[in-house]
Amino acid sequence: MAQLTHSETISWFCFLSLILLGSKLITYIGRHFHLPAIMSELATGLLLGPCVLGILAPKWHKWLWPNTLHLGVALDVLSKIAVVILMFMAGTELSIKHIKKQARPTAYISTTAMVIPFVLGFLVCFLNPSWFSKTPTNSWLLSLFIGTAMSISALPVIAKTLMDLNILKHRLGRIILTSAMIEDLAGWIIFSFILSLFKQQTLKILLLNIFLMLVFTIVSLTLGQRLLNRLFVFKNAKEYILCGCLMACFLCAAFTEYLGFHAALGAFIAGMMFSYIDDTYNIVHPFLHPLINHFLAPVLFVSIGFKITRLEDFNGLLIMLILFIATVGKILGAYMGARLAQLNSKESWAIGFGLNARGAMEIILGDLALQAGLIQAPLFVALIVMAMTTSILSAPAMRYFIKNICTST
């Protein structure tokens, strides 16, 4: 079994210590400007990553992060664990009862917030494929990918932002999170369909995976919740609820990853399964919340900053185009859906900016497309910059509109 070498072990623990120290220092400074923690953690990744430290002090950056294969795998594993636990905790805050209460606004918002940016991105790319790729081999698939990339949101980033703003249990927070979950589920289904066409996989396997995903979701949120309620009724069973939560989180994440969807969706569904159990809040939350806020979340979002390494492929015009399509399409789409659901203007803008955060999901989507050969490096860089920009701007904009909502109320 492969193991970290002596020097890699030293570098790994020094790296973890420095990113935790750096994120907390920048978070402390950011509080004076009313910036959420996620913004400071993303900034830490940019400062310590190849973009800033790697250019200004390459020797220090190489010492901080030797970028060996083993260290890269270790960071990737830890980031994946952070994503699934964060999404599990977000899922525990959202139950079927809450979805039913917000069914009407969620249906409007998730539909318009996905359809409008998808259509806008698809049309712009299909009419001008050379803007997005120097040698577009299949404009249809490329246009479908651009539309999908413009329409998804970032569940982990949105969940962390709502936690930082303390509105995860608020009506607006639940609407935003539920809409993002629906958008991401639909987006990953479309992306899986695109990759299957690009890789010339059989449509039968893809449709089977989509069917299994729908069955898994329905069974988990109906029979799964009832089974858990019966299991944890017994007095001694409460001692094992933390272990049960983590086990269900990882198993559901593994299953959705096996089906070709992101592991975060499975973890989110697992969290919703446990949302009906009162002891989830009394036992699990006091343990996992500090672990997320002080360790897993900083590691996850600092690692996102490390993803920007291809400055030689930086294309300013492409970045501005991607950022414009993504931001205008998502915010206006969500705003229109919220207004159709009869929410007021300030709530509609808050929802629009909340769903505009792309973060890790956009980067994962772009990375998979790059590995598959569907897109080229300049477009990948543009997607990363768009994901970072929208994630950073989302929280301050939401804070502004939420503050106005509270003030007017």
* 3-state SS track over the chain: CCCCCHHHHHHHHHHHHHHHHHHHHHHHHHHCCCCCHHHHHHHHHHHHCCCCHHHHCHHHHHHHCCCCHHHHHHHHHHHHHHHHHHHHHHHHCCCHHHHHHCHHHHHHHHHHHHHHHHHHHHHHHHHCHHHCCCCCCCHHHHHHHHHHHHHCCCHHHHHHHHHHCCCCCCHHHHHHHHHHHHHHHHHHHHHHHHHHHHCCCCHHHHHHHHHHHHHHHHHHHHHHHHHHHHHCCCCHHHHHHHHHHHHHHHHHHHHHHHCCCCHHHHHHHHHHHHCCCCHHHHHHHHHHHHHHHHHHHHHHHHHHHCCCCCHHHCCHHHHHHHHHHHHHHHHHHHHHHHHHCCCCHHHHHHHHHHHCCCHHHHHHHHHHHHHHCCCCHHHHHHHHHHHHHHHHHHHHHHHHHHHHHHHHC
Residue 181: inside a domain = yes
Q: pLDDT of 188-214, one tens digit each?
A: 777 777 776 676 666 777 788 888 888
Interval 232-249 mean pLDDT:
74
Residue 59: inside a domain = no
Name the least confident of 19-33, 134-148, 357-371: 357-371
Residue 25: inside a domain = no
Total tally of structural domains belonging to the chain: 1
Whole-model pTM above 0.85? Answer: no
Q: What share of the chain has pLDDT > 90, as a percent?
A: 12
* pLDDT tier at 408, thresholds 50, 70, 90: low
* pLDDT tier at 391, thresholds 50, 70, 90: confident
- Give residue 239's pLDDT: 66
Residue 6: inside a domain = no
Can you give the residue range of the structural domain that contains 158?
Answer: 74-408
- Give residue 402's pLDDT: 76
Residue 346: inside a domain = yes
Q: What is the CATH number of the domain that holds 169?
A: 1.20.1530.20
Residue 18: inside a domain = no
Residue 377: inside a domain = yes
Residue 152: inside a domain = yes
- Give residue 235's pLDDT: 56
